[in-house]
Amino acid sequence: MKIHEYQAKEIFKQYGINVPNSILCEKLEDIEKCVQSIGTPCVIKAQVYSGARGKSGGVKIAQNKENALKYASEILSMVLVSPQAGMKKVNKILIENAVDIQKELYMSFTFDRTNEAVTFIISEQGGMDIEETAVKNPEKIFKQVIYDTFYPMETIEKLGLSSDISEKTAKAAEALYKLVIEKDALLAEINPLVITKQNEIMALDAKLNFDDNALFRHEDILLMKDEKEENPLELQAQKLGLNYIKLDGTIGCMVNGAGLAMATMDIIKLAGKEAANFLDVGGGASSEKIENAFKLLISDKNLEAVFINIFGGILRCDFLAEGVKNAIANLKIECPVIVRMEGTNKEAGADILNNSGLKFTVVKDLNEAIEVIRKL
C-alpha cells in the first residue's frame, strides 16, 4: 500500500526524523491562510501517488507570497501527467518551508528478494533518480544488506562526511530502519535527505510503501488509504475480495489462479488482441462471488468480448456456471462471452450454461480459445 508524502512525513516525525515545517491544503479558499502560516520562501508540492512530480510541474518553489499564491492555486487545480502513473487529478498540496541546502543525500531501505533481507542504500548523489545514478556513477552508491543487527556507521563513513554530520545521518538511518521493521514497510525512501546550512539532517521528500499482507496489524496505516488515488474498478474489486487490475485492452477475462490468469492474458495476446484486465477470482469462489466478479468485469466500457477460463480444482465448474448465468440474466450484455471450463464438475457446469437460454461460445481447450478470439 502506498501513502502520500505528507502522511509519510507525519510518520517520520513520530520516529524523530526531521522534516521541514509544512501544512496540507485541500481547498483553493484555504491557500492564502496556509501560505501565511508557513511564510516565504516556500515549496508547493502536489500530493499524488506518483513519482517524477517535479518533471510534470507538480513541485514549485516560491520566493514571495505573490508567487506562492499563484503556484498553489495552479497546482491544486491541475491534472498531472506522469510517465509513471498516467493522468492524476491533484486534490491536495503540501506547502512547505524552503530549507537552505548545503548538500543533498539519498537514503533508502528496501526489501531485497535475492538476499531475502532488508537492504540499506545511501548515496551522496541525492535529488537524482537513483536508477540513473546506479548506471552512471555506481561507485557513488553504497549498499548494506541487513541480516542481523543494523550498524549504519559501517556504510555512512564511506561518504566522507564530517563526524558530526555522519552521526546525525546514522541517527536518521536508525530511526528509519526502526520504522521499516515496526510498520512493515517494504520501501522507505528519502530523496533528497539534505544537510542544511545549519548542519542539520532533514528529509525533504518521503516515500513509504507497506506490505499489504501486514496491514492487519497496522490500523493507523490503513486509515491513511486515499481512495481517490485508486482506480475505481480496482477499488471496487478490493472491496469484493477480488484480485483485479485494469489494463488497456479489449478482451475482458475472468480466471481462477494468478498464474493461469497471466497465461490467459498471454493467450489473448497470441490471438492478436490485448487483455482488458487481470482478474483472479481465487480458489474457493462461490457463485455469488463469480456473479460480482462478472458484473465488475463488464462494467468496463471498452470490451469487445469476455473470455472465462477456469480450471476447476477447489472452485467447482457448476458454481462458476451458476454465477455467470445469474450475472448475465440480470444484465444486458452485448459482447460475445467465450467460456472454457475444465476440471471439477465440468459436465454439470456445461449443462447449466447450455440450458440457460443465453448465448455462449464454449471452447474445449486453449488453442480453440485462441482461434475464436482471433476471429472476433
Partner 1 sequence: MSIFINKETRLIVQGITGKEGSFHANSCKEYGTNLVGGVTPKKGGQTILDVPVFNTVKEAVAEVKPNVSMIFVPAKFAANAIIEAADSGIELIVCITEGIPVYDMINAKKAVKLNGVRLIGPNCPGLISPNEAKAGIMPSSIHKKGSIGIISRSGTLTYEAVYQLTKLGLGQSTCIGIGGDPIIGTSFIDVLKEFENDNQTQAICMIGEIGGSAEEEAAEYIKENITKPVVSFITGMSAPKGKRMGHAGAIISGNKGSAASKIEALTAAGVTVCKNPADIGTIIQEVLSK
- Catalogue the active-site residues: 106, 189
Minimum Å distance from CB 359 to partner 1? 24
Q: What is the CA radius of gyration of the chain?
A: 26
Alpha carbon distance 307, 265 (integer Å): 10
> Does 186 sit near partner 1 (CB under 8 A)?
yes
Q: How far is the CB of 214 from partner 1 (least distance, A)?
A: 4
CB atoms within 10 A of CB 132: 10
> Is residue 138 a contact point for partner 1 (CB under 8 A)?
no
Nearer to partner 1, 312 or 349 (CB): 312
**Counting contacts by CB under 8 A, is residue 311 touching partner 1?**
yes
**Which of 247, 362, 372, 376 touches partner 1 by CB under 8 A?**
247
Nearest-angstrom CA–CA distance, 211 and 2: 9
Is-contact 325 349, C-beta < 8 A? no
In angstroms, the CA 1 to CA 61 distance is 29
Q: Which stretch binds partner 1 (CB under 8 A): 16-24, 96-104, 107-115, 285-293?
A: 107-115
Kindly report the CA angle at 144 between 141 and 148, in degrees rounded to 5? Answer: 170
44-63 residues in contact with partner 1 (CB under 8 A) are: none
The correct pick among 20, 192, 312, 349 for binding partner 1 (CB under 8 A) is: 312
- The interface region with partner 1, picked from 2-10, 89-97, 188-196, 359-367 by CB under 8 A, is 359-367
Q: What is the total count of residues that contact partner 1 (CB under 8 A)?
A: 52
- Decide: is 153 part of the binding site for partner 1 (CB under 8 A): no
Q: Which three cell numbers stand for residue 133?
A: 545514478
Part in contact with partner 1 (CB under 8 A); list of ranges 2-10, 66-74, 113-121, 168-176: 113-121
Between 132 and 351, name the residue whose CB sits nearer to partner 1.
132
| Residue 240 binding partner 1, by CB under 8 A | no
Residue 216 DSSP class: G
Residue 87 β-bridge partners:
81
Cβ atoms of residues 159 and 144 within 8 Å: no
- d(CA 161, CA 152) in angstroms, rounded, equals 14
- Select from 149, 216, 227, 332 the one that contacts partner 1 (CB under 8 A): 216
Residue whose grid cell is 536518521: 172
Select from 313, 331, 347, 358 the one that contacts partner 1 (CB under 8 A): 313
Residue 257 near partner 1 by CB under 8 A: yes
Bond preceding residue 152 cis, omega within 30 of 0:
no
On whether the CB atoms of residues 60 and 98 are closer than 8 A, the answer is no
As beta bridge partners, residue 196 has 101
Contact 8, 28 (CB under 8 A): no
Task: Answer yes or no whether residue 295 interacts with partner 1 by CB under 8 A.
Answer: no
Binding interface with partner 1 (CB under 8 A):
84, 111, 113-114, 116-117, 131, 181, 184, 186, 211-214, 216-217, 243, 245, 247, 255-263, 265-270, 274-275, 278, 280, 283-284, 311-314, 342-344, 365-367, 369-370
